[in-house]
Structure 1
């Protein structure tokens, strides 16, 4: 979908701008394999997704016809070794998700759910039979998936989830609700987290689409991540055979291990969104003229552009360092949470500056920035809000847990 030809003020994002700068030469931090992967992902996203993202954003629909192109990137499965997965470094997986998000945040979120939550759940906590059955087709995107933790009454307080799993002969009965589950409207398999009615512990289950008692409804009227399909899930006496119970999920702490990886990826999605907005603004300011000169020639626009550039450099360095800590086995929950909280907040400010720089055109999806501005609000919130992630890091550095109001916490100790 092109902008009106009557007012050709600048090139729309359907023709995506090249990367403006590697200002601090971050290429020096990447391996040749990571550079090659970045190049491949960037080319596919600019060629296949950029020309259609405005159309699908306006329709709030997912472009299913591009799934084979995304599969060809060979990045789904991230760091998982074997079973058809690519076995990337966490840095390589982060660079790939960043390049996807640079063009479209919904596609990157779709890939993150598939790779860093659903596949990783089976790879880390599934049986060998489950890994052999599901991972090869999921890594090739022949089988799509979602990961359901959040519920209508339990968002930040996810560990208190109310969906139950009751043991019966030959399997389990699931009852409950899930909300905001990405990909669930079309997922072939759903990874459902539920509370074991006998042990009160959190367990994981693989639920196939069209299972009796399973009802999924698309969430309408989103302002951000409109291309990604989020939905509500109702489970009423859904039977799951024993063979689809994830045998190694027994606590919320194990669920948290998955969220740590997701928070790293969410950080890099925010970096990618910011980089795409910067590249768009850099081109736009050189093309758009006012007062007889390109906008790029004015002091105030240069100052905002430099602020954006500085933010992106800092975000990249923090994201890169967290990846290296993960690879060295030194990353803590606080590291991942601070990365997600700080980077997404900085990214939020960065895309806001981009919106200012484009003036009225910053409100249009045609130039990416208005779309990215709304998408960034979703990234700021999912995989743990800014406040919750700060509290995770705060607990780690002080030794005090402050998730519950003081009086409630005090009462629980009596």
Structure 2
């Protein structure tokens, strides 16, 4: 997609390698996603045929090192997330669930045997993972989860339910978080285990080219080595969420940029009162506001990426990007639709699809309210969650 705003010469802040990664993923999206995404969205279809292609592109577990993972930088991963979400939030969501959630959990908290068994296959797209944390009655407060794992001899028995779990119905392995007598622990659950049932949620008004599921766990029996040995307490799953939130801070810029570019192109060819609507002051104000917000969001995301690559990124800083960039992206997508007018409700144009998707992105991995309170606690020193 042309018409990428670069009012501040953002590209000069990137290395040659970073630009090359971005351009490669952009080319993939242009060739393999843009021509088909409206149809996939209309039919509520996730294109599983893209999974091996995404693996070949090197975006599955992109920021992880070893075990067959690509080992790219945080900035490169962020740029890839931005280009993927310019195609559709559902595509970036797949990469995020696979890499930032499921693979990161195994990479960070798994045993050597678990890493060797699963990570090379997941990086190659030969196995898909999901991440079971959210429950029907426990979203923003994961400490309230009721899924429980009890020890029975050398086995673990899991009972409970999870909701809004991306990819669960097509996954081979689920990272499931459960209460135990020793606090919250993580488990690797093969999805063909007796008692594990994943049911896609539908119909949906958002993230239609994506898969979210309900999971029920009924007396699911696991061997002792299913436990993620290094994961103890809520800090473990929350650290994985921060990996995903970092990618979201970049990804939403892609949805915003694609909305802006679509509106700009339309405004330059749509004639009203004998001139293109791009020549009207109100339209130019909208386009300028969108372009400026995109530039600001890119600078925030790049700052986080540089901090992450230096090993200095803090959770509250991730909340800045998740809150601010997502909020800006939704506003841009909605405003872009207004420039396209009545034609903007057609699937031919992307902004309304992006706006609908971003409502889900705004909610998952922490709502606006949660990230506001994270930042409020950091600023004041007074947690206000309870």
Q: Which TM-score bucket, shorter chain as reference?
A: over 0.9
8 Å contact 1:333–1:393 — kept in the other structure? no
In the other structure, the counterpart of 1:172 is: 156
The alignment partner of 1:177 has SS state of strand
Q: Does 2:204 align with 1:219?
A: no
TM alignment of 1:325-364, pairs within 5 A: 325-364=307-346
TM alignment of 1:179-190, pairs within 5 A: 179-190=163-174
- Structure 2: distance between partners of 1:68 and 1:327: 27
Unaligned 5+ runs, structure 1: 1-16, 405-414
Q: TM-score, normalised by structure 1?
A: 0.91
The alignment partner of 1:179 has SS state of strand
Q: Does 2:130 align with 1:149?
A: no
8 Å contact 1:20–1:282 — kept in the other structure? no
The alignment partner of 1:401 has SS state of coil
In the other structure, the counterpart of 2:293 is: 311
- Structure 2: distance between partners of 1:346 and 1:203: 36
Unaligned 5+ runs, structure 2: none
- Of residues 100, 108, 129 in structure 2, which corresponds to 1:124? 108
Q: Does 2:2 align with 1:18?
A: yes
8 Å contact 2:133–2:237 — kept in the other structure? no
Q: Does 2:211 align with 1:258?
A: no
- Structure 1: distance between partners of 2:5 and 2:294: 11
State the Cα distance separating 1:350 from its structure 2 match: 1.1
Change (3 A) 1:20 1:334: closer
RMSD: 1.1
1:198-217 CA distances to partner (integer Å, 9 max, x unpaired)?
A: 22x11111111221011111
8 Å contact 1:173–1:239 — kept in the other structure? yes
Corresponding pairs, count: 386
Q: Does 2:24 align with 1:43?
A: no
- Structure 1: distance between partners of 2:4 and 2:300: 21
State the Cα distance separating 1:330 from its structure 2 match: 2.2
State the Cα distance separating 1:19 from its structure 2 match: 4.1
Q: Does 2:14 align with 1:30?
A: yes
- Structure 1: distance between partners of 2:94 and 2:154: 33
State the Cα distance separating 1:56 from its structure 2 match: 0.8
- Structure 2: distance between partners of 1:284 and 1:316: 24
8 Å contact 2:3–2:264 — kept in the other structure? no
State the Cα distance separating 1:20 from its structure 2 match: 3.2
- Of residues 354, 371, 375 in structure 1, which corresponds to 2:353? 371
The alignment partner of 1:259 has SS state of helix
- Structure 2: distance between partners of 1:329 and 1:71: 26
The alignment partner of 1:366 has SS state of coil
8 Å contact 1:50–1:103 — kept in the other structure? yes
- Structure 1: distance between partners of 2:50 and 2:64: 23
Change (3 A) 1:84 1:19: farther
- Structure 1: distance between partners of 2:188 and 2:348: 39
1:113-160 CA distances to partner (integer Å, 9 max, x unpaired)?
A: 001000000000000111110000101111011111100000111122
